[in-house]
Amino acid sequence: MTIKDKTALIVEGLTRICADVAALAAVLEDDVPQDAPVAEPAPAPEKVYTYEEARAVLAEKSRTGFMAEVKAILTKHGVTQLSDVNDPAVLATIVKEAEDVGSD
């Protein structure tokens, strides 16, 4: 089989694929009502913070005059220092609450 023959087969195959895709699109377009609700995209996963990232956020808040608020957030979550937090979800919550401090 020559290169020209192989190329012709590839072109023929691609032409069939394009026709099949166009036919499928037409079927789908006919099956979906125009007023059908559009699915909402899934919410982005919550950021997972490392201990170092969380510590940096809390340290910055403490340096800018919110040390009492930072301590209150830690106490609210049942810890006295950030290194006592073992659950990444709790760490993320603490960071979110700390980021909200002073943004009023």
pTM above threshold 0.75:
no
Query: pLDDT tens digit string along 26-41?
Result: 887 776 666 667 677 7
Encoded amino acid at 41, one letter:
P
Quickly tell me which residue has 């290194």 as its tokens. 83
Per-residue pLDDT tens digits for 50-87: 899 999 999 999 999 999 999 999 999 999 999 999 89
Question: What's residue 63's pLDDT?
Answer: 95
Residue 70 burial class via C-beta count within 10 angstroms: exposed 0-12, middle 13-18, buried 19 and up: buried
Q: Token pair for residue 35? A: 């007023």
The H helix count followed by the E strand count for the chain is: 4, 0
